[in-house]
């Protein structure tokens, strides 16, 4: 998920937001109904600016990572097109991705929320980092309140 995946209507449909490009979507359950097992050692898939810390670390992406990525997109919009880990320069993509991951890990919720409207609490910003700390395939229900709009 990235900002480019959101289209806003115009005229009488100016309040309509469309989400597009589901090219990386995959099922999270097996035909038996069991959750797909977690895999490690995966290469980064997606836009480094918005992927979860676990994705940077090589964990296969899951719903948890989708929520963390959505939080980064929301923060990008609220911060008027900036995130602390943008514009990193490195000799290789691997080095650049590592720099981005290190900055994400080191950025506190207070820093992510600094200057945002009062309706955005530290708990909303903390949501992205909470998901980075949860083991893969953790139940989303327990942290849903972190992602609700205030």
Domain extents in the chain: 41-147
Measured in degrees and rounded to the nearest 5, phi and psi for residue 69 equal -60, -40
pLDDT of amino acid 33: 87
- Mean pLDDT on 25-50: 86
With a threshold of 0.85, does the pTM exceed it? no
Q: Which tens digit of pLDDT belongs to each residue from 85-144? A: 999 999 999 999 999 999 999 988 888 888 887 766 655 555 555 544 544 444 444 444
**CB atoms inside a 10 Å sphere around CB 127:** 25
Per the CATH hierarchy, to which homologous superfamily does domain 41-147 belong? Transferase(Phosphotransferase) domain 1 (1.10.510.10)
Q: Residue 112, class by beta-carbon neighbours within 10 Å (0-12 exposed, 13-18 middle, 19+ buried)?
A: buried
């Amino acid at each position: 998920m990235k900002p480019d995946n959101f289209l806003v209507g115009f005229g009488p449909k100016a309040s309509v937001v469309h989400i597009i490009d589901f090219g990386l979507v995959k099922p999270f359950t097996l035909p038996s109904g069991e959750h797909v097992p977690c895999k490690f050692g995966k290469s980064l898939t997606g836009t480094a600016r918005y992927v979860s810390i676990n994705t940077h670390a090589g964990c296969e992406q899951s719903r948890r990572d989708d929520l963390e990525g959505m939080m980064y997109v929301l923060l990008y919009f609220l911060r008027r097109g900036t995130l602390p880990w943008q514009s990193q320069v490195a000799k290789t993509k691997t080095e650049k991705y590592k720099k981005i991951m290190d900055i994400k890990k080191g950025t506190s919720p207070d820093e992510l929320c600094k200057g945002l409207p009062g309706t955005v609490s530290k708990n909303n910003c903390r949501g992205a980092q909470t998901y980075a700390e949860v083991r893969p395939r953790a139940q989303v229900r327990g942290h849903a309140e972190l992602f609700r709009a205030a």
